[in-house]
Amino acid sequence: MQTIDQYLPDHPFFAGLDAETTDLLAGCAVNVHVRAGEFLFHENDPADHFYLLRRGRVAVEIHTPARGVVLDTVNEGEIVGWSWMVPPYRWAFDARATLDASVVAFDAACLRVKCDADPVMGYQLMKRFVPVMDHRLQSARVRLLDLYGEFVD
């Protein structure tokens, strides 16, 4: 398996970033293994990482009084976790591995310091995360309409 600093420059999410920037990002990252059924994070907990899924699958979920609802599924090569960018830095949803997963975990505090020190890098990351945020919110909207649309007039 490639090291993080070898993997990032070839990943589409980081395409177009210069080597110095991907090295800075890699300096905030570690490889993590998560077993099926384990949570990467829980709603309202501190959003202290974001994750790049190298292998496996992760369900983005919300819990209702009756049950948990899968709002979106994150597959290999995709990003999970954007709440680290939005104060007060708390998770908006749960994320649970549905298959054994290997992820690159990026430390949010480390990244925020680096983004503050290099606003161009921060802007480049923001441009990459906004589509992820939009996709997750649209997926949540569609899923909730599927579940509860019959109750809306």
The CATH number that applies at residue 80 is 2.60.120.10
Query: Which tens digit of pLDDT belongs to each residue from 108-152?
Result: 999 999 999 999 999 999 999 888 888 778 877 787 777 676 655
Q: State the residue range of the domain holding 102.
A: 4-151
Model pLDDT, residue 152: 53
pLDDT, tens digit, 9 for 90 and up, residues 41-84: 999 999 999 999 999 999 999 877 777 788 889 999 999 998 99
Taking the model in full, what pTM does it have? 0.88
- Predicted local distance difference test score (pLDDT) of residue 48: 96
Q: Evaluate whether 94 touches 41 at the Cβ level (below 8 Å).
A: yes
Whose CA is closest to 11, among 52, 59, 58, 72?
A: 52
Per the structure, the count of domains in the chain is 1
C-alpha distances out from residue 83 to 19, 20, 126, Å: 26, 25, 12
Closest CA to 110 of 2, 10, 7, 26: 26
- Residue-level pLDDT at 2: 83
Nearest-angstrom CA–CA distance, 23 and 6? 9
Rounded distance between C-alpha atoms, residue 68 and residue 81, angstroms = 18
